Amino acid sequence: MTVFTGSDLTCLRGERLVFGDLSFSANTGDAVMLRGRNGAGKSSLLRLMAGLMAPRRGTIRWQGDDIDDDKIGHRARLHYLGHQDAIKPVLTVRDNLRLWAELRGISDIDAEIDQALRALDIHHLGKTAGRYLSSGQKRRTALARILLGQSDLWLLDEPTVGLDRESCAELARLIAEFRAKGGIVIYSTHVDLDIAAPIILDLDPFAIPMMEWLIEHDDEDANQHLSLDMDQGRTTEAAI
C-alpha cells in the first residue's frame, strides 16, 4: 500500500481556485519536489498535506486512512515548516526548541536539543534570544525543530530561504538521512537542492480558471465557500 496519497484534490483559497483534480503518492523514503510558477499552489498543497486546511474536493490518506479522520494523529507524525520561522523573539534558541519539544511530548529533551543544535551548527547560539538572530540563523533554528522527536513526514515550504550554500548542503544531508530511515519528504524550492532522485510534482498543469470551474461544477455551495479561506487558514495555523 502506498503510504501517503492524495486523490482528485481541488483547492480553493479565498476567491480563487488554485488547482483541481491533482493527485500524488509517496512511499517510504521518497522525496517529492513541488514545482510550479508563483501562485501555482505549492504552499497551499503543503498546507493540505499537513491538515492545516481541508481540500475543497478530494481526499488525502496516510496508509489508507483519511487524514481528516485523525487530525491529531496526523500532526503527530509530521513536521511542517512554513514560510514563517515562528521563532519567539524573547526566548533563546534553546528555549524555542524546548517549547516545540514539550509540545511534541519528547522525553529526553536536552539530549535531543543538543543533537539538533549540533546538526544545524547552531550550538554556539543556544543562549541567544530569537530577536538577535540573523534570518539564516532563524531558518536554521526552525530546521532544528524538524529533527526533534520521531516523525514520518517532513513538509518543507521553501526550506532554503535565507540559507547559505553550506547550510543548503547540510539540509540536503539531513533529508538524505531522514529518507534512509524511511521518512517521506515533500518540499518546494526555487533553488537547486542536492536531493537524490526526487519525484517531481508540477502543479502548473492542474490550474483551472475560476469561472470555468464554477460553470462546470455548478456547485450550490461553491460561492458560499469562496471567501471563507482567508480567515480559516489563519485560525488553523495559529492553533497548531
Ligand X SMILES: Nc1ncnc2c1ncn2[C@@H]1O[C@H](COP(=O)(O)OP(=O)(O)OP(=O)(O)O)[C@@H](O)[C@H]1O
What is the contact surface with ligand X in residues (CB under 6 A)? Answer: 13-14, 16, 18, 36, 38-44, 229-230, 233
The DSSP secondary structure of 1-55, one letter per residue, reads --SEEEEEEEEEETTEEEEEEEEEEE-TT-EEEEE-STTSSHHHHHHHHHTSS--
Shortest separation between residue 94's beta carbon and ligand X, angstroms: 31
Nearer to ligand X, 49 or 174 (CB): 49
The identity of residue 196, as a single letter, is: A
CA dist., res. 18 & res. 34, Å (int): 14
Nearer to ligand X, 182 or 209 (CB): 209
Nearer to ligand X, 40 or 109 (CB): 40
Nearer to ligand X, 40 or 143 (CB): 40
Shortest separation between residue 83's beta carbon and ligand X, angstroms: 8
116: which 3 cell numbers?
A: 539538533
Shortest separation between residue 240's beta carbon and ligand X, angstroms: 15
54: which 3 cell numbers?
A: 481541508
CA dist., res. 4 & res. 8, Å (int): 14
Nearer to ligand X, 15 or 65 (CB): 15
Shortest separation between residue 49's beta carbon and ligand X, angstroms: 12
CA dist., res. 176 & res. 123, Å (int): 22
Shortest separation between residue 103's beta carbon and ligand X, angstroms: 24
Which residue's C-beta sits nearest to ligand X?
14
